């Protein structure tokens, strides 16, 4: 059974049609890249998967591990192992990063019927994961994303992913706003989490990220549909030729 | 700088009423007049105090219970809210004293010196008065009123920001007891004093207390007030605390209202502050049917800093009003005000903040902010900042916001697996925490956050 199956998905927001019969199948352990021009529906796909309100599914279905998740709350989806790394991580004034991580980890464990993580065990895991991402203890004490640079915010997303150990992670333009060093730190963080049991959907404009996070499958999204799929060489072709042909084709 | 108003004919008066040639009194006003007449002979105090009480009651009689036409009471119409006047609480008997033993238990971790006021009477045998620090004295107000030395009479009769306020005047007329705390010049009292007020009666009563806190030159003190009473009893409490901080002095003050769910609670804090002094006060309100906190401070010496902050968490049909007046009588002082309210159900919070900068008070730095978080469509937040600036070289600012929790923020938290109620609770705690963090004492901060968490738990 595939980990994620999106079948003929049609999505509207405020009466405007964004996704237009999207099909996507992601198997366990795979990394899929979704590329496409601005406005093709990449971020909408990520929000629909995570369960953001206001995105209305008018047709089709989304099966996660064989289960239809269309009516599930965002927190239920998260507890089932779905993770979205936000393109624009939100600032949470007054909530320390450490508190936030702990609340999230324990909420998910509780939803899955597991006991809370002990303080020493939690601290050990955070220290390890933060260390690998170059996130200081001082940053962990600060309010979530408040006063963080663009790169720090993205690293913080990967830290959350490392702590929550999802089955499917959707990375929404995680490379945007990163310089080459930060890109490498973030990519290394993602690669460390790759496993036969965990899948990734990497949404990006640029081929550059895919030099670091090497995908199994590359899709081209245009006008709300996947218009072409191929191996990692497709990304190189897109880099060379641009999206012009797809923008025309799907119209 | 008058906090009062000119007497006018009341709304709702008809020509028939006028024909009686006197102002119509409400049942509550009549009840208060009877209560005063009945208690006048037995209320504590020497002759000078009696005349003080008579004068104060006259002010109240002229003004009556404050109502919505009175600007300072615009949103808290006591005349409409008080249907009647509850009988004065009797002095606590043995059973009341037993009940009062647990008063203020929430603050036990603070390790404060506990002073207990039961049904409006200071109860020494429940209070921790052993081994008072050098320079610290604590006596009952009732005793002080009987002795009535000149300093006390001068203080009680001085012209102050609340002199013409009807609720404060009523407190002066009816005050039964309270505590008089004095810290001598230079004495640093490290251990906080916890004034634990409790109303034990299961039948509705009214309580009037007045406490005086004097912090001498260069002295420092921390005072925490807690107020509690039983649910289901529509008590009427009118408490006042009159504070004086001399030059170089410091006072940290926290007031926590944990009254029963039907209580009407009116509290006045009056403060005069000298030069290079510090006064920080924090007001926490999460219980009671109707709460009015009124704070008036007069900054009389340069280089002084005052912080007036508070948090209010309401649900159901609760109503809480924080009304502040900060009078910068001299220049080069700093005042900071921050009030946060979290409102659920059909509750309503009111913030009125007046900053007065007198003509010579140059280089005043005054900032005021109030923020309301509305958790329900039917909750209401009223904010009224007022700046009266008569000097031309000052920095004064105010800001007010009211709104719901941010949807994008909630989505972010939920996308991490945190359920809606828990995500809301996390946000509310953070919101309240921003105000609470200004409280100096860590155990007190923790007690306040625990109260906020309890409120959130009761909501979930």
- For range B314-336, the mean pLDDT: 97
Can you tell me the distance from the alpha carbon of A72 to that of A78, in angstroms, rounded to the nearest whole number? 10
Contact A73 B419 (CB under 8 A): yes
Task: Select the residue of A53, A90, A99 nearest B409 (Cβ to Cβ).
Answer: A90
Q: For chain A, give the percent of residues with pLDDT over 90.
A: 84
* 8 Å CB contact of B415 and A53: no
Separation CA A1–CA A50 (nearest Å): 21
Looking at residue A238, its pLDDT comes to 87
What pLDDT score does A197 carry?
Answer: 94
Q: Is A166 in CB contact (< 8 Å) with chain B? A: no
Q: Do A75 and B417 touch (CB under 8 A)?
A: yes
Q: Is A13 on the interface with B (CB under 8 A)?
A: no
Q: Which phi and psi angles does A140 have, rounded to 5°?
A: -65, -30
Q: What was the pLDDT predicted at B176?
A: 97
Which residue from A minimizes the CA distance to B435? Answer: A94
Distance CA A134, CA A156 (A): 10
Alpha-carbon span B366 to B364, nearest angstrom: 6
pLDDT band of residue A248 (cuts 50, 70, 90) is low
**In whole angstroms, what separates CA A201 from the centre of its chain?**
6
Nearest to A104 among B407, B416, B430 (CB): B416
**CA–CA dist B186, B43 (Å, integer):** 35
Give yes or no for A14 touching B (CB within 8 A).
Answer: no
Give the burial string for B274-290 (b: 16+ CB within 10 Å, else e). Answer: bbbbbbbbbbbbbbbbb
DSSP state of A16: E
| Spans of all domains in chain B | 27-459
- The number of C-alpha atoms within 13 Å of B417 and in the hemisphere containing its C-beta is 25
* pLDDT per position as a tens digit, A192-220: 999 999 999 999 988 889 999 999 999 99
Whether chain B has a CB inside 8 Å of the CB on A163: the answer is: no
Instruction: Give the pLDDT confidence score for residue A246 in this predicted structure.
Output: 81
Interface test with B, best of A90, A166, A168, A172 (most B CBs within 10 A): A90
This complex has an ipTM of: 0.96
Asked whether residue B455 carries a pLDDT value surpassing 50, the answer given is yes
- In the DSSP assignment, the letter for residue B232 is T
Q: Which residue of A82, A87, A95, A145 to mutate against B (max B Cβ within 10 Å)?
A: A95
Please report the DSSP string for A123-153 in residue order: HHHHHHHHHHTT--HHHHHSEETTT--HHHH
Percent of chain B beyond pLDDT 90? 93
| pLDDT tens digits along A120-149 | 999 999 999 999 999 999 999 999 999 999
Picking from B231, B233, B227, B183, the residue whose alpha carbon sits closest to that of residue B203 is: B233
List of chain A residues whose C-beta atoms are within 8 Å of the C-beta of residue B408 = 90
CA angle B439, B265, B243 (to 5 degrees): 50
CA distance A89 to A84: 10
Instruction: List chain B residues with CB under 8 Å of A171.
Output: none
Helix (H) or strand (E) holding A193: helix A180-193
Q: What is the DSSP string of B82-106?
A: -SS-PPBPPPP-HHHHHHGGGTTGG
For B413-451, the three-class secondary structure string (H helix, E strand, C coil) is HHHCCCCHHHHHHHHHHHHHHHHHCCCCCHHHHHHHHHH
Range B329-344 average pLDDT: 97
- B23 pLDDT tier (thresholds 50, 70, 90): low
Is A111 an 8 Å CB contact of chain B?
Answer: yes
Specify the DSSP class assigned to residue B122: E
Determine how β-strand B179-183 pairs with β-strand B206-215.
parallel
Q: Which pairs with CB-CB distance under 8 Å and at least 24 residues apart come from A57-61?
A: A57/A9, A57/A10, A57/A11, A58/A10, A58/A11, A58/A12, A58/A17, A59/A8, A59/A9, A59/A10, A59/A21, A60/A6, A60/A7, A60/A8, A60/A9, A60/A10, A60/A21, A60/A22, A61/A5, A61/A6, A61/A7, A61/A8, A61/A9
Contact A104 B422 (CB under 8 A): no
Cβ within 8 Å, pair B422-A103? yes
Rg of chain A, C-alpha, whole Å? 18
**Interface contact A72, partner B, CB < 8 A:** no
| Main-chain phi, psi angles of B107, to 5 degrees | -95, 15
Average pLDDT on A167-188 reads 91
Q: Does the CB of A75 have a partner CB in chain B at under 8 Å?
A: yes
CB spacing of B409 vs A111 below 8 angstroms:
no
- Convert the pLDDT of each residue in B243-263 to its tens digit: 999 999 999 999 999 999 999
Residue count (chain A)? 251
> What is the rounded distance in angstroms from the CA atom of residue A69 to the CA atom of residue B270?
59
Q: What is the DSSP letter of A234?
A: H
Averaged pLDDT, B412-420: 96
Residue B21: pLDDT band (50, 70, 90) is: very low
| Residue B270: HSE in the Cβ half-sphere, 13 Å Cα cutoff | 24
pLDDT exceeds 60 at position B154: yes
pLDDT in tens, A219-233: 999 999 999 999 999
B417–A94 CB contact, under 8 Å: no
**For position B145, what pLDDT does the model report?**
98
Tell me how close the Cα of B400 comes to any Cα of chain A, in angstroms. 18
pLDDT digits (tens, 9 = 90+) for A39-57: 899 999 999 999 999 999 9
B417:A104 CB<8 A: yes
User: How close A137 comes to chain B (CA, Å)?
Assistant: 20
CA distance A161 to A198: 12
CB A222 within 8 A of CB A36: yes
Measure in Å the smallest separation between the Cα of A231 and chain B Cα atoms: 30
Rounded to an integer, the average pLDDT of B169-184 is 98
Residue A108 to chain B, least CA–CA distance (Å): 5
By the 10 Å C-beta count (0-12 exposed, 13-18 middle, 19+ buried), B47 is classed as exposed
Q: What is the pLDDT of residues B356-411, one digit of tens each?
A: 999 999 999 999 999 999 999 999 999 999 999 999 999 999 999 999 999 999 99
- What is the average pLDDT across A94-109? 95
User: A90 and chain B: CB distance < 8 Å anywhere?
Assistant: yes
Asked if the model's pLDDT at residue B323 lies above 80, the reply is yes
Q: Which of B408, B419, B430 lies at the smallest CB-CB distance from A95? A: B430
Q: Tell me the CB-side half-sphere exposure of residue B122, using CA atoms within 13 A.
A: 26
Q: What is the pTM of this model?
A: 0.88
pLDDT at site B17: 45
Spell out which residues of chain B touch residue A84, defining contact as CB-CB under 8 Å.
415
Q: Which of A78, A94, A160 sits opposite B434 (nearest CB)?
A: A94
pLDDT at B6 (0 to 100): 39
Query: CB distance A94–B409 less than 8 Å?
Result: no
Residue in B412, B429, B433 nearest the CB of A90: B412
How high is the mean pLDDT of chain B? 93
The pairing of strands B334-343 and B305-314 is parallel
B429–A94 C-beta distance less than 8 A:
yes
| Chain A, chain B: beta-carbon pairs less than 8 Å apart | 76
Helices (H) and strands (E) counted in chain B, each on its own, are: 11, 19
Residues from B in contact with A at Cβ < 8 Å: 407-409, 411-420, 422-423, 426-427, 429-431, 433-434
Contacts of B426 in chain A (CB under 8 A): 95, 99-100, 103
């Amino acid at each position: 059974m595939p980990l994620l199956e999106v079948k003929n998905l049609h999505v509207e927001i405020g009466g405007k049609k964004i996704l237009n019969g999207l099909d996507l199948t992601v198997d366990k352990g795979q990394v899929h890249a979704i590329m496409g021009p601005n406005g093709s529906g990449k971020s909408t796909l990520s929000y629909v998967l995570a369960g953001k309100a206001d995105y209305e599914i008018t047709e089709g279905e989304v099966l996660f591990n064989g289960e239809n998740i269309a009516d599930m709350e965002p927190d239920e989806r998260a507890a089932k192992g779905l993770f979205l790394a936000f393109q624009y991580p939100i600032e949470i004034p007054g909530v320390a990063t450490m508190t936030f991580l702990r609340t999230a980890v324990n909420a998910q464990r509780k939803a899955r019927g597991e006991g809370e993580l002990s303080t020493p065990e939690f601290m050990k895991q955070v220290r390890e994961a933060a260390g690998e991402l170059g996130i200081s203890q001082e940053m962990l004490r600060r309010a979530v994303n408040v006063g963080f640079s663009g790169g720090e915010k993205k690293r913080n997303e990967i830290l959350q992913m490392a702590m929550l150990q999802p089955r499917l992670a959707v990375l929404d333009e995680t490379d945007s706003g990163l310089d080459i060093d930060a890109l490498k730190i973030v990519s290394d963080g993602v690669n460390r989490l790759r496993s036969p049991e965990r899948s990734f959907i990497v949404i990006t404009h640029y081929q550059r990220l895919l030099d670091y996070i090497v995908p199994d499958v590359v899709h081209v999204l245009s006008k709300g549909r996947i218009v072409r799929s191929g191996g990692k060489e497709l990304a190189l072709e897109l880099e060379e030729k641009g999206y012009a042909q797809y923008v025309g084709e799907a119209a | 700088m008058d906090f009062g108003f000119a007497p006018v004919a009341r709304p709702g008066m008809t020509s028939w009423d006028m024909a009686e040639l006197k102002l119509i009194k409400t049942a509550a006003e009549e009840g208060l007049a009877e209560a005063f007449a009945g208690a006048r002979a037995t209320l504590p105090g020497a002759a000078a105090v009696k005349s003080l009480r008579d004068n104060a009651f006259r002010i109240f009689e002229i003004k009556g219970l404050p109502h919505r036409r009175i600007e300072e009471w615009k949103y808290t119409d006591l005349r409409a809210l008080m249907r009647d006047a509850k009988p004065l609480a009797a002095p606590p008997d043995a059973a009341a004293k037993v009940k009062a033993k647990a008063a203020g238990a929430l603050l036990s971790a603070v390790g404060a010196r506990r002073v207990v006021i039961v049904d409006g009477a200071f109860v020494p045998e429940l209070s921790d008065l052993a081994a008072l620090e050098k320079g610290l004295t604590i006596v009952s107000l009732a005793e002080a009123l009987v002795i009535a030395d000149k300093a006390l009479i001068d203080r009680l009769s001085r012209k102050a920001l609340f002199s013409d306020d009807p609720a404060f005047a009523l407190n002066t007329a009816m005050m039964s007891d309270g505590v008089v705390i004095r810290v001598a010049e230079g004495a640093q009292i490290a251990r906080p004093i916890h004034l634990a007020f409790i109303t034990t009666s299961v039948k509705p009563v009214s309580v009037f207390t007045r406490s005086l806190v004097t912090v001498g030159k260069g002295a420092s003190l921390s005072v925490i007030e807690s107020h509690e009473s039983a649910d289901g009893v529509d008590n009427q409490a009118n408490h006042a605390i009159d504070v004086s901080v001399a030059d170089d002095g410091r006072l940290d003050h926290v007031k926590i209202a944990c009254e029963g769910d039907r209580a009407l609670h009116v509290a006045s804090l009056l403060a005069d502050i000298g030069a290079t002094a510090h006064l920080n006060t924090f007001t926490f309100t999460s219980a009671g049917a109707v709460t009015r906190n009124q704070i008036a401070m007069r900054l009389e010496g340069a280089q002084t800093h005052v912080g007036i902050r508070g948090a209010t968490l309401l649900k159901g049909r609760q109503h809480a009003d924080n009304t502040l007046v900060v009078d910068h009588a001299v220049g080069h002082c700093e005042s900071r005000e921050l009030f946060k309210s979290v409102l659920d159900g059909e509750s309503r919070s009111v913030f009125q903040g007046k900053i007065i900068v007198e003509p010579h008070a140059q280089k005043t730095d005054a900032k005021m902010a109030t923020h309301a978080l509305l958790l329900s469509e039917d909750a209401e937040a009223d904010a009224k900042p007022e700046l009266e600036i008569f000097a031309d070289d000052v920095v004064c600012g105010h800001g007010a916001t009211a709104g719901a929790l941010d949807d994008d923020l909630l989505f972010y938290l939920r996308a991490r697996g945190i359920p809606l109620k828990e995500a809301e609770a996390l946000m509310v705690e953070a919101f309240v925490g921003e105000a609470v963090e200004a409280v100096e004492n860590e155990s007190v901060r923790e007690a306040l956050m625990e109260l906020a968490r309890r409120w959130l738990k009761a909501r979930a």
